[in-house]
Structure 1
Amino acid sequence: MNCWNCAKKIDLIAGMDRVGFRDECPGCGRALHACRNCGFFDPAYNNSCRETMSERVVDKERFNFCEYFMPGDAAVAPPAKPKAGAQSKLEALFKKKL
């Protein structure tokens, strides 16, 4: 599994290792037992979860006590720096034409 925040790889042995409710990423210290790290997490679904029986979790990036949590295996890219891209788009949009 990869950390949802910093994309650090976290090794889990299938069937033996569990992600505890209060476990943190060794790289960035963010919550591992959070919706963003779950295999059921999908923003396209109601409450961003494909598990229909799970309770609603408001903050998807914080620790939670969901019993349906399963470590996700999707590769996560570290958060992009939005300012650089946005700045260049704004400059292109408002660029004076001669």
Structure 2
Amino acid sequence: MDTDYIGTCWHCGSRLAAVDYGRETRCLDCDKDTRVCRNCRHYAPGRANECLEPMVERVLAKDRANFCEWFEPADRVPQGGTSSPGEDLRAAAEALFRR
């Protein structure tokens, strides 16, 4: 049976199908929630509320399952592992001043 993959897990990069994005569904490979902001195509670190949608309700835990009505799976490879975008930026800035 052919599975149409529509996205990837935000944490481990495993391919996910539409059925893998339920409210209580977790990635089979890393056991992380899949219907999360970090798996959404609207997720945008650095933007207000870290989202491209201006009318979205605020979600504090970007890596926890939520009920956001704007959720659309994103097909992108995870970057920076489990660290947050802020941690990645700070590490990059500190690397500039190391000798």
TM-score by length of 1: 0.71
Quick check: which one's strand share is greater? 2
CA RMSD of aligned residues (A): 2.4
Unaligned runs of 5+ in 1: 94-98
- Per the alignment, residue 96 of structure 1 pairs with none
- Per the alignment, residue 17 of structure 2 pairs with 11
Query: Contact (CA 8 Å) 2:20, 2:27: kept in 1 or not?
Result: no
Stretches of 4+ aligned residues off by more than 4 angstroms: none
Q: Alpha-carbon deviations, 1:53-98, whole Å to 9, x = none?
A: 11000010001110110001122246189xxxx8xx7xx84xxxxx
Question: 2:51 is aligned with what amino acid?
Answer: C
- Per the alignment, residue 30 of structure 2 pairs with 28
Q: Which has the higher contact order (CA 8 A, sep 6+)?
A: 1
Aligned residues: 81
* Distance (whole Å) between structure 2 residues aligned to residue 36 and residue 21 of structure 1: 14
Q: 1:18 to 1:28 in 2, by over 3 A?
A: closer
SS in 1 for 2:17: coil
Question: 1:44 is aligned with what amino acid?
Answer: G
* Distance (whole Å) between structure 1 residues aligned to residue 33 and residue 80 of structure 2: 15
Unaligned runs of 5+ in 2: 1-6, 84-90
Give the number of the structure whose alpha-carbon radius of gyration is greater: 1
